[in-house]
Amino acid sequence: MENFKIDIDADGVALVTFDVPGRSMNTLTGSVIAEIPTLVEKIKSDDAIKGVVITSGKPSGFCAGADLGDMASGMLAGGGDLQKAFDTGWALNGAFRALETSGKPVAAAINGLALGGGLEFTLACHYRVVENDPKIQLGLPEIKVGLFPGGGGTQRLTRLIGVQNALMQMAEGKSWRPNDAKGAGVVHEVVEKGQSVEAAKAWIKNGGKAVQPWDDKGFKIPGGGPYHPAGAQVFIMGNAILRKQSYGNYPAVLNMMKAVYEGVQVPIEAGLRIETRYFIKTLMTPQAQAMIRSLFLSKQELDKGAVRPAGVPKSDPKKVTVIGAGMMGAGIAYVQAMAGIETILIDQSQEAADKGKQYAVDLIQKRVSRGHMTQDKADAVLGLITATTDYDLIKGSDLVIEAVFENREIKAAVTKNAEAQLAKGAVFGSNTSTLPITGLAEASVRPEDFIGIHFFSPVDKMMLVEIIMGEKTGDEALAKALDYVLKIKKTPIVVNDSRGFYTSRCFSTFLMEGMAMLEEGYSPVLIDNVGRMTGMPRGPLEMHDDVALDLSYKIAKQTREDLGDKYVPTEGEQIVATMVEQGRYGRKNGKGFYDYDQKPKVIWPGLAELAPTTKGAEFGEGPEALAAVDELKTRLLYRQAVEVARCWEEGVIDDPREGDLGAILGWGFAPWTGGPITFIDQTGLKAFVAKADELTAKYGDRFKVPQLLRDMAEKNETFYGRFAPEKKAA
């Protein structure tokens, strides 16, 4: 065995050290899965072995779960051969089942994180000891990439802690920290760092039983199964809550529930077979495949700097100045200090700068009070942030990021003053979300070092950073900006300069399609409900309120002025203008499409006069109503996807991974699609163009696809096929 090392001690306890060669982290590779039966055979047949303790030989953790890329291709390797897919899928469940029925007690000494298949591995052990390290997470996060636990998680966790608790954890993909895991009944014992092997051995020496609770006679699911009076309620409510949260967009959620419902009614082994069947069914859905590719594989690649110019040596930003201590600047200061970067936070007054630092103080204090950070570490992080008004302190910075008011003159002055302090090779980044970078770079004396670094709000929660190349921005500045983004553990995408860049430009089409529907006479309630049903985080009207209607109005006005005769008005613009003229700016002044002076917010009654409802209320109970709703959903998704395609044709984006992930992480584009590029690819270029043409005929030129898509449809191409990232690199 290359992955497991066995040392039998004097008491007959076999210490199995799990250590996948050549990897920094243990994952359930094909080789690991193939070796577990060998391991079990050894445990069973070697009379010297009285019991087993499994631990990790990696400092990085116990096991991070399956290798999703390998797994998906492995299970689906047989094409349409479902029996083959089942047999491949069953390998893991069969191996875990063999482990827990070997007849000898097996304890897991969890000395690092155990996620997904990693946690499932430990659930197939009879006893779990975890070390008390705040860095250790135990959880089943599969749902986040369009899957669900398929290594016995749906069967063992439900049988261990009850259906309700297990479902809640699996449906949200949340993790436990060691003590919470103990409280939840997922692990048996929490011990100090470095003590897990010893504690696990002690359990075996004290007569630990080699039988799982669910293999005990008379075992009953905690809380009851689906036809137990209390258990029934859990399933009935569970179905409702999962539909409420998923809008029926995620096959993984439904299939997970099916695996639980059907699985807990039968003995564990049958339950595991049912789980494997639903797991494969899920894996075969376009949604799962899209999500695995974008949210797991592409994200990993971008997080490792896949789009970084290869020729530039790696840099390590040690000191970074943030100018402007408003909400964005304060958020940026916080995340980079957390990443260990010396941070100068500058504003016009000391008071404003201090207020910006206070934001970090509050967030860090919260972490300390929750036990997620020690006071020493907190002090160290806060010590990295200097709040000041003094531009002299910029000296020595590897990077300056300005997050000042969206005004060309102000930004120009800041650029000039900051550059005066910067050494050669240091980069100046602008966190503008609206002003073209090429124009802002005109204020710079070295535009090759000037770049857009667009954060999203709130900075500590939003994982994307959109890097914008100005016309003159050099590869070196790009590489340094990317090194910075990777250091603060955000996901970068690199786009070319355009009005609204990539994310803001495409996101605005979602808002404007909602405005267009409003003008057509659809009820505001319907529009927002349908918006959420597409898988977007909120509906277009409420989201427009959040963004601020006056901001939208100002951008449209600026665009009109800049483009002059070339300006093409957008459907729905008029209603935004009217709202702003009536002093309705959105959530920020409590008056938008909704009134915010009560909770929950209610549609502003005056909207009925501005945009009288003539459609939607007549929707009946028949299937034609569902079709009408589907048409609205289609419009919202297509409108965004068409704009993404235009961005591609104009060269704003040129990597499908960035197009997809930028959309999901940047503006919340329906994650079930895997992103707009994958949405187009999976719809099929021909079908997409045909539907877009139909929408163009019905609703206007805003659905007109660029020539690129017609060419691709003609040749039966896809974005991921024609513009495969590997090809681009080569």
Partner 1 sequence: MADAYIYDAVRTPRGKGKKDGSLHEITALSLAGQVLEALRDRNGLDTGKVDDVILGVVSPVGEQGSDIARTAVLAAGYDQRTAGFQLNRFCASGLEAVNVAAAKVKSGEAGMAIGGGVEAMSRVPMGSDGGAWPTDPSSAFPTYFVPQGVSADMIATKYGFTRDDVDAYAVESHKRAARSWAEGRFNKSVVPTKNQLGLVQLDRDETVRPNTDMQTLAGLNASFEMMGGMGFDAVINQRYPEVAAVRHVHTPGNSSGIVDGAAGVLIGTKEMGEALGLKPRARILGGASIGSEPSIMLTGPEPVTRKLLAKLGMEPGDIDLYELNEAFAAVVLRYMQALDIPHDKINVCGGAIAMGHPLGATGAMILGTVLDELERSGKSTALATLCIGGGMGTATVIERV
Q: Is there binding between residue 682 and partner 1 (CB under 8 A)? A: no
Which amino acid would we find at residue 637? L
Tell me how far, at minimum, the Cβ of 546 lies from partner 1, in Å.
19
Tell me how far, at minimum, the Cβ of 684 lies from partner 1, in Å.
25
Tell me how far, at minimum, the Cβ of 599 lies from partner 1, in Å.
13
Dihedral sign from CA coordinates of 266, 267, 271, 273: negative
Half-sphere exposure of 141 (CA within 13 A, CB side): 19
Closest CA to 498 of 335, 651, 340: 651
Closer Cβ to partner 1, 305 or 606, answer by number:
606
DSSP code at position 445? S
**Listed ranges 232-240, 285-293, 490-498, 691-699: which one lies at the site for partner 1 (CB under 8 A):** 232-240
Q: Is there binding between residue 621 and partner 1 (CB under 8 A)? A: yes
Specify the length of the chain in residues: 730
* Measured distance between the N- and C-terminal CA atoms of the chain, rounded to whole angstroms: 37
Tell me how far, at minimum, the Cβ of 143 lies from partner 1, in Å.
15
Closer Cβ to partner 1, 412 or 603, answer by number:
603
Q: Per-residue x/- mask for partner 1, residues 550 to 589, rule CB under 8 A? A: ----------------------------------------
Block residue for tokens 């995408």: 493
Size of residue set near partner 1 by CB under 8 A: 31
Among positions 18, 96, 235, 450, the unique one binding partner 1 when judged by CB under 8 A: 235
Q: What is the biggest distance separating any 2 CA atoms in the chain, rounded to whole angstroms?
A: 88
504-523 binders of partner 1 (CB under 8 A)? 523
Closer Cβ to partner 1, 243 or 698, answer by number:
243
Closer Cβ to partner 1, 95 or 259, answer by number:
259
Closest CA to 441 of 419, 468, 412: 412
106-135 binders of partner 1 (CB under 8 A)? none
Closer Cβ to partner 1, 217 or 244, answer by number:
244
H-only helix segments in 247-326: 251-263, 268-283, 286-291, 299-303
SS (HEC) of 332-386: HHHHHHHCCCEEEEECCCHHHHHHHHHHHHHHHHHHHHCCCCCHHHHHHHHHCEE
Tell me how far, at minimum, the Cβ of 521 lies from partner 1, in Å.
12
Edge-to-edge strand ranges of the sheet holding 450-455 = 385-388, 342-346, 319-323, 399-402, 427-430, 450-455, 464-469, 491-496
625-664 binders of partner 1 (CB under 8 A)? 629
Among positions 139, 474, 500, 616, the unique one binding partner 1 when judged by CB under 8 A: 616
Among positions 226, 329, 500, 514, the unique one binding partner 1 when judged by CB under 8 A: 226
Tell me how far, at minimum, the Cβ of 607 lies from partner 1, in Å.
12
**Listed ranges 120-128, 230-238, 400-408, 431-439: which one lies at the site for partner 1 (CB under 8 A):** 230-238
Residues 6+ apart with CB under 8 A from 387: 325, 345, 347, 350, 353, 354, 356, 357
SS (HEC) of 509-540: HHHHHHHHHHHHCECHHHHHHHHHHCCCCCCH
Per-residue tokens: 43: 């445990």
Q: Is there binding between residue 599 and partner 1 (CB under 8 A)? A: no
236-295 binders of partner 1 (CB under 8 A)? 236-237, 239-244, 247-248, 254, 257-258, 261
Contact status, residue 221 vs residue 231, Cβ threshold 8 Å: yes
Tell me how far, at minimum, the Cβ of 533 lies from partner 1, in Å.
6
Tell me how far, at minimum, the Cβ of 243 lies from partner 1, in Å.
5
**Listed ranges 383-391, 411-419, 497-505, 612-620: which one lies at the site for partner 1 (CB under 8 A):** 612-620
Among positions 166, 184, 288, 530, the unique one binding partner 1 when judged by CB under 8 A: 530
DSSP code at position 615? B
Closer Cβ to partner 1, 569 or 622, answer by number:
622
Among positions 20, 52, 451, 526, the unique one binding partner 1 when judged by CB under 8 A: 526
SS (HEC) of 86-97: HHHHHHHHHHHH
Q: How far apart, in whole angstroms, are the C-alpha atoms of residue 30 and residue 20?
A: 11
Contact status, residue 202 vs residue 191, Cβ threshold 8 Å: no
* Residues known to be catalytic: 466
Tell me how far, at minimum, the Cβ of 532 lies from partner 1, in Å.
9
Closer Cβ to partner 1, 263 or 474, answer by number:
263
Strand ranges inside 548-601, DSSP E: 594-595
Closer Cβ to partner 1, 410 or 625, answer by number:
625
The reply to whether omega before 436 is within 30° of 0 (cis) is no
Closer Cβ to partner 1, 538 or 722, answer by number:
538
**Listed ranges 215-223, 352-360, 527-535, 591-599: which one lies at the site for partner 1 (CB under 8 A):** 527-535
Interface contacts to partner 1, rule CB under 8 A = 226-227, 232, 235-237, 239-244, 247-248, 254, 257-258, 261, 523, 525-526, 529-530, 533, 603, 616-617, 619, 621-622, 629
